[in-house]
Amino acid sequence: MAKKSAAGSIRQRPDGRWEARVTVGTNPGTGKPIRRSLYGNTQKEVRQKMTTVLRELDSGTYQAPNRITVAEWMDEWLNVFCANKVKPSTYHSYQSSIRLYINPVIGAMPLQSVRGSHVQGIYNKMLDAGLSGKTVKNMSAILHKALGVALKQGLILSNPCDGAELPKAEHHEITPLTDEEIPRFLAAIDDSPMRNAYALCLFAGLREGECLGLSWGQVDFRRGRIAISQQLQKERVKGGGYYISRSTKSGKPRTIEPPPIAFEYLRAERVRQLENRMRAGRAWSNPDDLVFTDETGKHYCRQTFYSRFKKIAASIGRPDARVHDLRHTAATVAIASGADIKSVQDMLGHATASFTLNVYAHTTEQMMKDTASRVQNYYDGLAKRA
């Protein structure tokens, strides 16, 4: 005989095992009760299981079991919640992090079984492999987003990422070109076909993709302005091609007013491109009206752009320099010249002024010292009048 209660019943099955049947909810479509079976070898065992479920139902922490694994959920999250909603480059970065770091460690686990310790295991494994804290944080942000959606969908009761400890933030000191190195760099690029692109990165603080994806329609010679609203990107898949992303890294377009010298290099590039176009004839093809192209109108390959820069940097005694350091140089020069942080933030396209302050802390410290010195001189002047 099955022993019944208001919430469920317990019976012994023909095979000798015990089964508890518990009502855990109501089907919203039919209004019929939803029941769950709990099994055990003894009546006491199934009664304890039933008591646990009833307690969870009373406290609102009960969760219907499902068999979806982490790998299955991450795939669903990518295809349902990310596809056509994020930039292709962002989608591919999500895909890579899941494939390289998440699935190998917890991909086979049931989604509902993941705890903070399992997420911590991913962090530890990445750090042990020599990956940077920034890489770990980027992966964690992806996992946190995916599990946050799982939480909203009712698949899990809490986000296990909240129970893991991220590594401490790393602050890498920036290495812009010095006042002595800038003239040497400009002289060293003089014979390079990419001279004007490197110069624009230096004088306007553009990111590499923003520079290589710049079109003539974005350049306003009359007003001395440049609109930054797209970038050249490469698909992050094997054999992936280049494409123009109609967005910036921050997702927000910006308009900058670089110093006049930047437009001197742009004018030189326009002359160079017109000469190349005349020589190329029918072979010329520049469908995106890009500013920086090769002899036939094709965009520059980012790897070639970078490798040639490294050779130039090495020739002036800066083999450690990266193309991105030209952007750092532009910001550092602007700050040292007296530009306020908000203006520098707008030039660089940073999301917040606090981020700009954090990146260029050493430069702003010198500005504060200079300001303090000027204020002191002011008060000294007042004292002399007294």
For residues 108-120, give the mean pLDDT: 93
62 versus 299: the higher-pLDDT residue is 299
For residues 318-334, give the mean pLDDT: 92
Mean pLDDT rounded to a whole number for the chain: 87
List, as one string, the DSSP characters of 19-40. EEEEEEEE-TTT-PEEEEEEEE
Identify the pLDDT of residue 386: 61
Q: What's the distance, Cα to Cα, between the start and end of the chain in Å?
A: 106
CATH number of 181-367: 1.10.443.10
Sign of CA dihedral 70, 76, 81, 83: positive
Identify the pLDDT of residue 364: 54
- Please state, for a pLDDT cut of 70, what percent of the chain lies above it: 91
| Residue ranges covered by each domain of the chain | 3-59, 70-163, 181-367
> pTM for the whole thing?
0.68
SS3 label, residue 282? helix
Identify the pLDDT of residue 260: 95
**Residues contacting residue 192 through CB under 8 Å, at least 6 positions apart:** 198, 308, 312
What does the alpha-carbon distance between residue 371 and residue 246 come to, in Å, rounded to a whole number? Answer: 40
List, as one string, the DSSP characters of 70-116. HHHHHHHIIIIIITTTS-HHHHHHHHHHIIIIIHHHHTTSBGGG--H
Give 258-277 pLDDT, tens digit per residue: 999 999 999 999 999 999 99
214 versus 241: the higher-pLDDT residue is 214
**Residues contacting residue 217 through CB under 8 Å, at least 6 positions apart:** 289
Q: Is the pLDDT of residue 230 over 50?
A: yes
**Residues contacting residue 87 through CB under 8 Å, at least 6 positions apart:** 245, 247, 251
CA-wise closest residue to 351 among 275, 250, 245: 250
- Please state, for a pLDDT cut of 90, what percent of the chain lies above it: 54
- Range with the poorest average pLDDT among 61-75, 278-292, 321-335: 61-75
Q: Which CATH architecture does the domain made up of 70-163 adopt? A: Orthogonal Bundle (1.10)
94 versus 356: the higher-pLDDT residue is 94
CA-wise closest residue to 371 among 348, 340, 345: 340
Neighbours of 299 (CB within 10 A): 19
Neighbours of 271 (CB within 10 A): 10
| Phi-psi sector, 123: left (phi>0), alpha (psi -120 to 50), beta | alpha
Ranges 87-91, 121-125, 169-173, most confident: 121-125
Give 173-205 pLDDT, tens digit per residue: 788 899 899 999 999 999 999 999 999 999 999
- For residue 97 the two structure tokens come to 């992090």
Identify the pLDDT of residue 127: 92
Identify the pLDDT of residue 1: 46
Identify the pLDDT of residue 138: 93
